[in-house]
């Protein structure tokens, strides 16, 4: 893990392999801020002109590498664009710092001085230093910098940035792991170890316990796999906490679609169908490490949706933990079934609010794209999460529950239909939220976060590397901070 170091004084005096300066956009050349004045002086006051000659006019997250002139201890200077000075915000800083650190892989040390909040810069730098180790026998390429010095950052800000980055890395490592190495029993064991390391209480239910407990959704979805399902519960109980929040996550370690088998193209991405479970576990671990004054119960349902003679079928009727019955129409809509069980169990602890996270529907990507999560639930909580997502750089958008779609979820033989009658695709993402709403009391603050797109990125940008993103862990931590305040 990259060490974050608090620094002060003139960046030009830093003894680091790479100095990173932020520059603002200008009409003909970038504008050099006060934080980069010493470095600019080392360039004879011509840094802006050199950058302009190289095509960098300060656009957000643009990056230009320059050999350091005499007088600087560093060998390289990276100039990163921060965009218009009047529009500078924390997400711009996070992305700029992440861009610079990713570009500095293979260098041993980096020093960064930006305008704006050093805490945001530290978070971006820490997130940008992530690298998935992978399984290459000849190594995984250049190492991230061993140390990043952030000018103006307090020790408290650096500690929080490090905890967030460590927790996001945990989520990304799990979500990027191949499905043969992270089947439900293994995932449960790894969650248990991470939770114990953070001082959390842990309960793991195996298939026998799930059967005794009436978890019909988890058992049905996991019934086609040789790797039996699990339900894992983590408890964080700080002394004096006035609020109790329930976090619930979908943990499908691989989703073949079951009998309604998915097309082969893209099925390999289904190893990440457990990203919701990973995110809520990571957020709970982060809350414990940060010592947040809010009680958290995290419930994740882990299963592998496979095809075999013991797979569940379209037309089956399942009984969920809370006693409600569900008519099955599509075995590839399995996530909502395991979430129904997990939500039902979480409600037995009488939380003050409940939030569930899942890579639930392809409809989320169709409606909102790869970077904006779908938010459904009570109005106050979807708006709260939209606001927090905007602040953390993990955007979301609230979706309605139209009357016509609610009616489509009615079943003639069970309490609720798993999907819209006739498998109509109308508002596919919303159908998942409507289904889950049937298991949540109307008076409980609740939100469902569909992260099917945002959980993974096809390319690297800012502080995001290609692959799993770790979203929406930082939004969840910000949410828990509000409850703790």
Q: Which residues are catalytic?
A: 262, 336
Please write down the HEC assignment for all residues of the chain.
CCEEEEECCCHHHCCCCEEEEEEECCCCCCECCHHHHHHHHHCCCCHHHHHHHCCCCCCCCCEEEEECCCCCCCCEEEEEECCCHHHCCHHHHHHHHHHHHHHCCCCCEEEEECCCCHHHHHHHHHHHCCCCCCCCCCCCCCCCCCEEEEECCCHHHHHHHHHHHHHHHHHHHHHHCCHHHCCHHHHHHHHHHHHHHCCCEEEEECHHHHHHHCCHHHHHHHCCCCCCCEEEEEEECCCCCCCEEEEEEEEEEEECCCCCCCCCCCHHHHHHCCHHHHHHHHHHHHHHHHCCCCEEEEEEEEEEECCCCCCCCCCCEEECCCCCEEECCCCCCCHHHHHHHHHHHHHCCCCCEEEEEECCCHHHHHHHCCCCEEEEECHHHHHHHHHHHHHHCCCEEECCCCHHHHHHCCCCCCCEECCCHHHCCCCHHHHHHHHHHCCCCCCCCEEEEECCCCCEECCCECCECCEECCCCHHHHHHHHHHHHC
Map tokens 């930082």 to a residue. Answer: 474
Closest to 158 in 3D by CA, of 199, 105, 120: 120
Distance CA 78, CA 368 (A): 34
Count other Cβ atoms within 10 Å, centred on residue 263.
7
Backbone angles phi, psi at 252, to 5 degrees: -85, 105
């Amino acid at each position: 893990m990259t060490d974050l170091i608090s620094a002060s004084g003139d960046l030009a005096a830093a003894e680091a392999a790479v100095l990173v300066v932020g520059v603002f956009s200008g009409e003909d050349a970038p504008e050099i801020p006060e934080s980069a004045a010493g470095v600019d002086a080392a360039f004879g006051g011509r840094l802006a002109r050199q950058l302009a000659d190289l095509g960098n006019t300060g656009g957000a997250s643009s990056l230009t590498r320059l050999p350091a002139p005499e007088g600087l201890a560093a060998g390289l200077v990276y100039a990163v664009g921060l965009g218009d000075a009047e529009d500078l915000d924390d997400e711009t800083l996070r992305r700029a710092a992440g861009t610079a650190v990713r570009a500095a892989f293979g260098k041993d040390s980096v020093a960064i001085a930006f305008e704006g909040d050093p805490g945001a810069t530290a978070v971006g730098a820490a997130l940008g230093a992530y690298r998935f180790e992978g399984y290459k026998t000849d190594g995984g390429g250049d190492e991230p910098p061993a140390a990043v010095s952030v000018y103006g950052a307090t020790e408290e800000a650096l500690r929080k940035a490090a905890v967030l980055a460590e927790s996001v890395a945990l989520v990304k490592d799990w979500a990027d792991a191949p499905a043969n190495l992270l089947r439900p029993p293994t995932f449960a064991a790894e969650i248990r170890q991470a939770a114990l390391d953070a001082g959390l209480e842990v309960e793991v239910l195996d298939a026998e316990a799930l059967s005794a407990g009436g978890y019909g959704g988890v058992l049905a979805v996991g019934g086609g796999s040789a790797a039996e399902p699990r339900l894992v519960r983590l408890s964080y109980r700080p002394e004096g906490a006035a609020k109790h929040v329930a976090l619930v996550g979908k943990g499908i370690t691989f989703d073949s679609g079951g009998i309604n088998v998915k097309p082969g193209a893209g099925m390999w991405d289904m190893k990440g169908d457990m990203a919701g479970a990973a995110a809520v576990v990571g957020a709970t671990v982060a809350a414990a490490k940060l010592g947040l004054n809010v009680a958290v119960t995290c419930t994740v349902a882990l299963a592998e949706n496979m095809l075999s003679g013991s797979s569940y079928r379209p037309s089956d009727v399942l009984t969920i933990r809370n006693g409600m019955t569900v008519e099955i129409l599509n075995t590839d809509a399995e996530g909502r079934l395991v979430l129904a069980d997990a939500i039902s169990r979480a409600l037995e602890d009488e939380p003050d609010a409940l939030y569930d996270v899942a890579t639930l529907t392809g409809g989320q990507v169709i409606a909102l794209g790869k970077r904006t999560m779908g938010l459904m639930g009570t109005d106050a909580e979807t708006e709260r999460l939209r606001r927090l997502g905007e602040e953390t750089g993990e955007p979301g958008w609230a979706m309605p529950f139209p009357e016509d779609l609610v009616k489509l979820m009615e079943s003639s033989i069970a309490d609720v239909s798993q999907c819209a009658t006739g498998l109509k695709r109308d508002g596919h993402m919303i159908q998942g939220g409507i289904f889950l709403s049937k298991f949540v009391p109307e008076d409980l603050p609740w939100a469902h976060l569909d992260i099917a797109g945002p959980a993974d990125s096809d390319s690297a940008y800012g502080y995001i590397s290609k692959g799993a993103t770790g979203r929406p862990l930082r939004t969840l931590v910000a949410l828990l901070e509000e409850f703790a305040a």
